[in-house]
DNA sequence: TTAAATAATTAGATAAGACTAACAAATATA
DNA sequence: TATATTTGTTAGTCTTATCTAATTATTTAA
């Protein structure tokens, strides 16, 4: 049984290794806001538990076991977010912090029941895939809106950041998952875009925002 | 902000002082299954935080502040149990352990939402009163079934123990809150009773069971 | 009212998870 | 290549929450 602290390290490793599979102590330290020596000593502990491959001065890698257990924590997190939004009426900007705590509840029955009540959802409210009961996750390759061309017609499928402020900003623009977007023009200088969707015929969004929106081409 | 550990001590003190208002270190130690020296040192800490009145070799007493904060933890516990039963479909015997963990979630909005979805319930699934938002609880004085007389007609209103085994036993006998019970006879030797209710025209229940059932006289 | 039993405290140890300061290794830059 | 910067490790400290062993106070019983 992993402690709450261990679960948070595993989850962070999993999320950070999405890209290249390897993570540096420095990266992990910054992500968790925990100083490097503390991270080093936890890596030794997780290495003893066969959850992480750790060798001095080498990049960190989750083992198969570590990836599985991290996946199960992320499953609990995302199921919880979905439950909070769909069954309790929270907004997608309100759920991350609560899920950050509930993901550590030890009760298979509790999450099993959530899953059942939700009808076995495949994605969380931010469009992230929910790992299956074995901890495996199907990684879907969306494009960033910022990588699209003028004239493209796309569907907003996920967001890469779940901070309160960012999601509230999207709320004010009525941008939600499923929204069909057409790119009217791209400002070459700063990468900002003018887009149209629903009732919004001409909205201007900064590059920072475009990079956080994941879309599927229609 | 109290830690999970502190919250568990406060809750235990609150529950144990229901009777006389005072609790011994020994009692608390046994209830929490934590050795006496550990309890003593926590009492000093809670005393520094003005949550407990502690003096060497004197009985323990929650302060007004301590009683309020304990009440708020118990509120979270009981709201959770109610939510699990009413909104998620768990049986009353399945919810205590889960609530024991969820009661420590720090999110007023989460419990506010539960309360709202439940329609501001006054009692939990075991008939215990839910403290209000200020941590105050209205203590209702039910009688123990074991204190009733032959011939009495009563309504089962609460149970004093929430263990899995006890509640499963009640399930097998179809004894639930609200059940109208008539006491047919009492065995003077061991205090066991023969009772009738619903389709059950003659059930025999031990003294141990009768002491754990709280009833209202009709 | 003294002795025995029980309850409570003190002292000191341990484990988890965090930190800082000092040092070492690896990487980047001149 | 030599030096500077960045990254990572070691050593040692701190806090929280637990324990055991030894001691002291209180309560019960002889
Ligand atoms: Mn999240
Ligand atoms: Mn977390
Ligand atoms: Mn608890
Ligand atoms: Mn209860």
Question: What is the three-class DSSP state of A53?
Answer: strand
DSSP state for residue A123 in the 8-state scheme: B
DSSP state for residue A169 in the 8-state scheme: H
Place of tokens 């809750």: B11
Residue B97: CATH number of its domain: 1.10.10.10
| pLDDT at residue number A18 | 86
| Same-domain status, A176 and A115 | no
Which one of A81, A91, A99, A101 makes the best mutation probe of the B interface by having the most chain B beta carbons within 10 Å? A101
Lowest mean pLDDT among A16-25, A98-107, B58-67: A16-25
| Same-domain status, B135 and B162 | no
| Same-domain status, B76 and B52 | no
> What ranges in chain B are assigned the alpha helix state H?
4-16, 25-32, 36-48, 64-86, 96-102, 108-118, 164-172, 207-212
| pLDDT at residue number B18 | 86
pLDDT in tens, A142-168: 999 999 999 999 999 999 999 999 999
| Same-domain status, A108 and A89 | yes
CB atoms < 10 A from the CB of B208, how many? 13
Check: CB of residue A213 under 8 Å from CB of residue A145.
yes
| Same-domain status, A116 and A76 | yes
The strand ranges marked E within chain A are 52-53, 61-62, 143-144, 153-159, 180-186, 193-197, 200-205, 213-217
Q: What percent of chain A has pLDDT over 70?
A: 100
Q: Which domain holds residue A122?
A: 71-140
Grade residue B52 by pLDDT with cuts at 50, 70 and 90.
very high
Is pLDDT above 80 for B19? no
The answer to whether B97 faces chain A, any CB pair under 8 Å, is yes
Q: Of A102, A117, A140, which closes a domain?
A: A140
| Same-domain status, A135 and A156 | no
Q: Quote the number of domains for chain B.
A: 3
Burial of B125 (0-12, 13-18, 19+ CB in 10 A): buried
| pLDDT at residue number B218 | 83
| Same-domain status, A147 and A211 | yes
Q: Of A41, A62, A83, which closes a domain?
A: A62
Annotate A33-72 with b (16+ C-beta within 10 A) or e (fewer). ebeeeebbebbebbbeeebbbbeeeeebbbbeebbbbbbb
| pLDDT at residue number A80 | 98
pLDDT in tens, A189-214: 999 999 999 999 999 999 999 999 99
Grade residue A218 by pLDDT with cuts at 50, 70 and 90.
confident
| B90/A105 touch (CB, cutoff 8 Å), yes or no | no
Q: Of A91, A123, A140, which closes a domain?
A: A140
| Same-domain status, A122 and A169 | no
Residue B167: CATH number of its domain: 2.30.30.90
**Average pLDDT of the segment spanning A79-87:** 98
- Strands B193-197, B200-205: parallel, antiparallel or unpaired by DSSP? antiparallel
Nucleotides on strand D with an atom closer than 7 A to protein CB? 6-12, 16-22, 25-26
Q: How many angstroms does the Cα of residue A175 sit away from the middle of ligand 1?
A: 18
A24-33 long-range contacts (CB < 8 A, ≥24 apart) are: A24/A59, A24/A60, A25/A60, A28/A60, A32/A8
pLDDT in tens, A161-171: 999 999 999 99
Check: CB of residue B24 under 8 Å from CB of residue B13.
no
A·B CB contacts under 8 A? 38
| Same-domain status, B152 and B203 | yes
Which DSSP helix (H) or strand (E) runs through B155?
Answer: strand B153-159
Cα dihedral B10, B11, B12, B17 sign = positive
| pLDDT at residue number B20 | 81
């Amino acid at each position: 049984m992993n402690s709450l602290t261990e679960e948070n390290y595993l989850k962070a490793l999993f999320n950070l290794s999405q890209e290249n599979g390897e993570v540096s102590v420095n990266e992990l330290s910054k992500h968790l806001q925990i100083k490097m020596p503390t991270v080093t000593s936890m890596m030794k502990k997780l290495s003893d538990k066969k959850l992480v491959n750790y060798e001095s001065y080498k990049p960190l890698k989750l083992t198969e076991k570590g990836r599985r257990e991290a996946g199960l924590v992320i499953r609990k997190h995302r199921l919880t977010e979905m439950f909070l939004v769909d069954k309790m009426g929270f907004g997608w900007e309100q759920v991350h912090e609560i899920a950050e705590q509930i993901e550590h509840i030890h009760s298979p029955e509790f999450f099993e029941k959530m899953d059942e009540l939700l009808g076995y959802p495949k994605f969380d409210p931010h469009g992230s895939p929910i790992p299956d009961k074995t901890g495996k996750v199907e990684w879907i390759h969306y494009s960033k809106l910022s990588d699209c061309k003028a004239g493209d017609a796309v569907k907003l499928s996920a967001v890469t950041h779940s901070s309160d402020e960012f999601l509230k900003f999207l709320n004010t623009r009525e941008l939600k998952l499923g929204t069909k977007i057409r790119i009217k023009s791209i400002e070459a200088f700063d990468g900002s875009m003018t887009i149209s969707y629903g009732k919004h015929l001409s909205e201007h969004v900064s590059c920072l925002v475009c990079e956080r929106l994941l879309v599927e081409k229609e």
